[in-house]
Structure 1
């Protein structure tokens, strides 16, 4: 009887070990929560930072910078899709010329932002100690350019009135805010030289 129970006990032991291994440790969750809170408190938009990064499992400033750029890239892609659709629906001759031009310019600018944020995320995933400063400079330049694109897009709508302007402004402003927070996280990573810090 004892020998027939042994395989069953071993199986139960393995299953419980496997389940425990899948659960994130409370220490890791606490470290991540502390890192997000302390990092976000001085971000450009602290509440938005906490809202967008609170679920991140980040353990280091590098993890957090990657997560922040990931959020920014996701928003930029959504805005890009929205603008492409808007451009298609604004192509008729009944649409005011200023609006058509503003939307068309904005499509290009946000598309550039998507490219710049993609390159930034790729750079952050492949940091090397010997090229760290140069890579940080690239990341800062690209994210700053993405922010400039957002500003330029909004500038193009100054002479446009109505719902389209309000919709574009809302979406671009939201994207710009998470991008500004991402730039802050990159600057913070640069200051830490990539070392873990709370």
Structure 2
């Protein structure tokens, strides 16, 4: 009987240790990967709270893209609502910006799809695709802000704040993709 209790206790603690180990690994991976990112604080903050697998650099890059997709999609929704509040001059810029950010979401989704199917034989080609699409997403985000250069006020500042945040997350995702080695 004592042996059974001992055995059960060992299994229970072993299971708890194995379950806890990946999160320590994920935390270490996030910390070591984000330290040299373009925006290290943003990188660490967004990925340390991410609820998904991140035990490899590839999973970390995928998580960064997922975070970027989520944030960009929220900005698209925000911009849709902002069109109702904007004056005539602002409406055009907001509408164009919404289109640009929507294109960014599409590019980021293509990137995620490519990262999920990385293969040794086509790795360089797939990485080139992923880098191109994330770069295009960043360009779209930048182009969105260009539409507000001649506009002043709350709409501009609100849009700039939201889009700049997405651009930082997207830039960090590109950094993490660039760090990937062969699968």
* Cα displacement (A) at 1:68: 0.5
CA distance in 2, matches of 1:73, 1:19: 38
Q: Distance in 1 between matches of 2:99 and 2:152?
A: 21
- 1:96 is matched with 88
Work out the CA distance in 2 between the residues paired with 1:188 and 1:168: 31
Q: Which runs of 4+ in 1 moved over 4 A?
A: 16-24
The TM-score, its normalising length taken from structure 2, stands at 0.87
SS state at 2:152 partner: coil
Which whole-Å CA distance do the structure 1 matches of 2:156 and 2:67 have between them?
24
Cα distance between partner residues in 1 of 2:139 and 2:85: 26
Instruction: Spell out, residue by residue over 1:38-75, the C-alpha distance to the aligned partner (whole angstroms, 9 max, x if none).
Output: 11011000011110111344111101000100111110
Identify the residue that residue 171 of structure 1 maps to in structure 2: 162
Structure 2 Cα separation of the partners of residues 122 and 21 of structure 1: 33
Name the counterpart of 2:47. Answer: 53
Please report the RMSD computed on the Cα atoms of aligned residues, expressed in angstroms. 2.4
* Residue among 99, 104, 108 paired with 1:108: 99
Q: Does 1:85 align with 2:81?
A: yes
SS in 2 for 1:112: helix
Match of 1:25, SS? Answer: helix
What CA distance in whole angstroms lies between the structure 1 residues aligned with 2:150 and 2:125? 40
* Mapped pair 1:193 → 2:182: yes
Find the residue that maps to 2:97 and give its secondary structure.
helix
C-alpha distance in 2 between matches for 1:28 and 1:166: 40
Structure 1 residue 17, shift from structure 2 partner:
5.9
The equivalent of 2:123 in structure 1 is 132
**Counterpart in the other structure of 1:141:** 132
Q: Which gives a bigger RCO, structure 1 or 2 (Cα 8 Å, sep 6+)?
A: 1
**Whole-Å Cα distance in 1 between the matches of residues 124 and 141 of structure 2?**
26
- Between the aligned partners of 2:70 and 2:27, the Cα distance in structure 1 is 22
Rg larger in 1 or in 2?
Answer: 1
Aligned to 1:121: 112
Which structure 1 segments of 5+ residues have no match? 3-8
Match for 1:70 among 66, 83, 93? 66
Equivalent residues, number: 178
For structure 2, list consecutive stretches of 5 or more residues without a partner in the other structure.
Answer: none
Determine the C-alpha separation between the residues in 1 that align with 2:63 and 2:152.
36
Residue of structure 1 equivalent to 2:28 = 34
